[in-house]
Chains A and B, each alone.
Chain A
C-alpha cells in the first residue's frame, strides 16, 4: 500500500493520466440483467445495463428509489438474494469476469478486487466487537498466511488513510460518531486495495460538514490506490461536487450516461433534464419544481418507454416502441427516441 501522496490538498482534482497511453478500463459491465420473482409477478430490476469505467474515475449513479441503483451494486458484488436472480451479462474487473467465478473465488474477489460500502454502513459494524477485531477478521479471511503484526499494521494504515486516529483500532463502535463509523467502513473497504469501490449512499444520514469530510476521505484513498469509485445516491449536488461521470437509472434501465459537465450543462434524456431542473439553487428561491407523477412499479411497466407517462416531450413512438441505448457524439449514451436520428 502506498499512502504517501495523501498529503495532497483534499479538493485538488486528480490529475488526468497522460493521454498518450490508452487507459484500459478497470470495470466493464455489459448486458447485466436482474429479475426478482415475486408472488405478484416478475420484476425486472436491471435491464441490459452496460458501461465501462477507467481506473481513478468516479461514477455517480442516480435515480429514484426503486430505479435499480442498489440492485446494480448488489449484482456487481453477486450478492443478489432470492427471489432475485442475475439472469445474464458480465461484470469484468481488471481481467476477471466475476460472473464466471465459483462461490469461493467470488468470496475472495469481494474486498480484494471489488469492495462494497453498504447503505447505512455505520449500522453494519458489530456493536460488541472492537473496530480492530472486525477489521482483522476481514483481512484474515483473505490472507490467512499473513502474520498478526502485519495484519494489524495494515489495518492501522487503513485507519490512518481515512484520517482516523490509530487509537480507534481499540475502540467499540458506540464510542465513535456517525461520520467516524462511516470512515471506519471505508477503511474496511480499502484494506485489500480493491480496484473498484462501490459506495451506496455513504453520507445520506450525515450532516453537510461530515459529508464533505467523508467524501474527501473517499477521494483521497481512491487517489492513493487508483481505484474506480461508484457512488450511488440521489443527491445531485453531491454528484456535481464529487464525480466525473453520471449514470441516470430509471425503472431498471440506464437512460443516460455522460460526463458530469455534460449532465449539468446539457442533459439529454427528458428524465435527466427534469432531475436537473428540480434542483434548488440560490437564484430560484421558493420555486419547488418536482417531477410530476410517480416512479412506475417494476411489476407493471408502461409500454414502450417506461418514462413516457411522465415525459414532457412525449411522441407517438414512445408509447409503443422501447428505445434502445444510443451513443451520441462525444461518447455519451442516451436511451430516448428523441435522438433516434443521431449517433
Chain B
C-alpha cells in the first residue's frame, strides 16, 4: 500500500538573534504516515506554541525541516522541482484560520476562484472555468448565483470560509491542511463547515489534517488525534479513546478544561500551573506543569502502548510495551 505522505523524524528549530544563540524547538522527532487509498481525518491538537502551525507550514512546504524528511508520494518534498513541485502544490491544499484576512477586498470572489484555475490550467475555456467554479461552490453547499460576482465584504464569515474550502476543492487535492478552520466563525455555522469538510473526505477521497485547539470539534470530525505540547507528542490514538479516557496528564488537563455546554459537567477543579517561558531543555516538556511529575521525567519519555489504538508519552505507563516513534501511525485508525 502506497503512502500518500510520510513524515520521518521531522524536527523544526527556530534560531533567534543574529548570533543564533537561542533556539526554540517547535517540533521534535515527529513521524506520521497517511495512506494513499484510505482517506482519513487526523486531528493535531494542542495549545498555542505547541507546534501545530509549524507542522502545517512544513506540510505545505512553506518552511523546510531542520532534521528529518517529508516524503510525499515517494518523493522528498524539499527536493521537488518543476512539474512535480507544481503537482504537489496542487494536491496539497490549505484552509486557514481567518476567513476575513485571506480575501483581497478589491476583487470579487470570482477572482479568488479563477486564479488557481488559470495557474494550474484546469479549464479549456471560460465556460468550462465557470462550470468548475459553480461545481465547487455547490459541493460546499453554497448557491453559485448568490456568491459569484460578489465582493468579500458582502459575504458572511461562514460563507467566506466555505469559499476557501471550495477553492481548495477546485484543485482536486489529495490532502487538505485545515488550520483552525472554524475557530473564527459563529458556533451555528461551525457545524456546516465541519460537515463540508467531512463530506470532502467521504465523497471526494481527500485526506484532511485538522489542526485545532478545540477538542470538541476534533472529537466530532476526526477518526484519530495527535496531542502536541511544545513540539512533542503527548498522546495519540483513536479520538474516542483519547478524549473520553485521556491518560497523559496534559491531555487530562485539556479535556478537563473543555467548556462543555452541560450544566452538570463542570469545569474541572484541577488547578492550572502557569507555563514557564523558554525552551524547556531536556526531558518531558510538560514536566514543569505536571501535577504528578517524578524525578525520571527529566529524561525524555518514550511512547508507551496503552491499547490497540492509544499511546501516551509518559513514564506513568512505563510497564506498558514501547512504541517506536516511527510507528506512531500504526496506532492511528484510518
Interface residues of A (CB under 8 A from B): 9-11, 64-66, 163, 177-178, 204-213, 234-242, 260-261, 264-265, 274-276, 278-282, 285-291, 294-295
Contacts and interface: CB of A to CB of B under 8 A. Distances in A.
Interface in B191-250: 191-192, 194-195, 198, 213-217, 219-221, 240, 243-244
Interface stretch (B101-109, B117-125, B167-175, B266-274): B266-274
A241 B266 contact: yes
A279 B254 contact: no
B26 to A, nearest CB: 15
B294 interface: no
A291 B262 contact: no
A288 B194 contact: yes
Given A208-B254, A209-B272, A237-B216, A264 B267 contact: no
Contacts of B216: 237, 280
Interface in B13-60: 46-49
Contacts of B192: 288, 290
Question: Which one of A9, A64, A276, A295 has the greatest number of beta carbons of chain B within 10 Å?
Answer: A64
A234 B263 CA distance: 17
B229 to A, nearest CB: 10
A237 B48 contact: no
Contacts of B244: 282
Contacts of A65: 156-157, 186
Contacts of A177: 48-49, 275
B263 A237 contact: no
A19 B267 CA distance: 27
Given A236-B261, A238-B259, A241-B266, A291 B188 contact: yes
A336 B140 CA distance: 33
B258 interface: yes
B187 interface: yes
A212 B217 contact: no
Contact of B186 (A64, A178, A208): A64
B216 to A, nearest CB: 5
Given A241-B259, A281-B260, A207 B188 contact: no
A209 B254 contact: yes
Contacts of A163: 274
A210 B46 CA distance: 12
A234 B272 contact: no
Contact of A278 (B47, B191, B219, B258): B191
B322 interface: no
A204 B98 CA distance: 13
A298 to B, nearest CB: 13
A261 to B, nearest CB: 6
Contact of A240 (B186, B261, B269): B261
A211 B259 CA distance: 9
B267 A209 contact: no
Contacts of B189: 64, 290
B129 interface: no
A306 B244 CA distance: 40
B288 interface: no
Contacts of A274: 188
B263 A261 contact: yes
Choose among B157, B186, B240, B274 the residue with the greatest number of A CB atoms under 10 Å from its CB. Answer: B186
Contact of A237 (B259, B268, B269): B259
B253 interface: yes
B114 interface: no
B262 A212 contact: no
B187 A234 contact: yes
A119 to B, nearest CB: 11
Most buried by B among A205, A212, A242: A212
Q: Which 9 A-B pairs have the closest CB atoms?
A: A237-B259, A290-B191, A207-B47, A288-B191, A207-B213, A279-B261, A237-B261, A208-B257, A288-B195
A240 B188 contact: no
A213 B262 contact: no
A286 B186 CA distance: 18
Nearest to A203: B259
B320 to A, nearest CB: 26
Contact of B269 (A11, A294, A295): A11
A288 B220 contact: yes
Contact of B259 (A64, A66, A235, A291): A235
A285 B257 contact: no
Contacts of B272: 209, 212-213
B45 to A, nearest CB: 9
A279 B194 CA distance: 13
Nearest to B260: A237
A210 B259 CA distance: 12
A152 to B, nearest CB: 23
B241 to A, nearest CB: 13
B255 to A, nearest CB: 9
20 contacts: A9-B269, A64-B186, A208-B213, A208-B259, A210-B48, A212-B257, A237-B261, A238-B259, A239-B261, A240-B262, A260-B263, A264-B261, A264-B262, A280-B220, A285-B220, A285-B240, A286-B198, A289-B191, A294-B156, A295-B156
Contacts of A240: 259-263
B161 to A, nearest CB: 12
Instruction: Please indicate which of the listed interface residues A66, A240, A287 has the most CB atoms of chain B within 10 Å of its own CB.
Output: A240
Contacts of B49: 177
B147 to A, nearest CB: 12
A285 B257 CA distance: 19
Contacts of A265: 263
A209 B253 contact: yes
Residue picked from A208, A242, A279, most chain B C-beta under 10 Å: A208
Given A177-B275, A209-B272, A212-B267, 9 more contacts: A65-B157, A66-B156, A207-B48, A208-B215, A209-B254, A280-B191, A285-B240, A287-B220, A290-B189
A260 B261 CA distance: 11
Contacts of B198: 286, 288
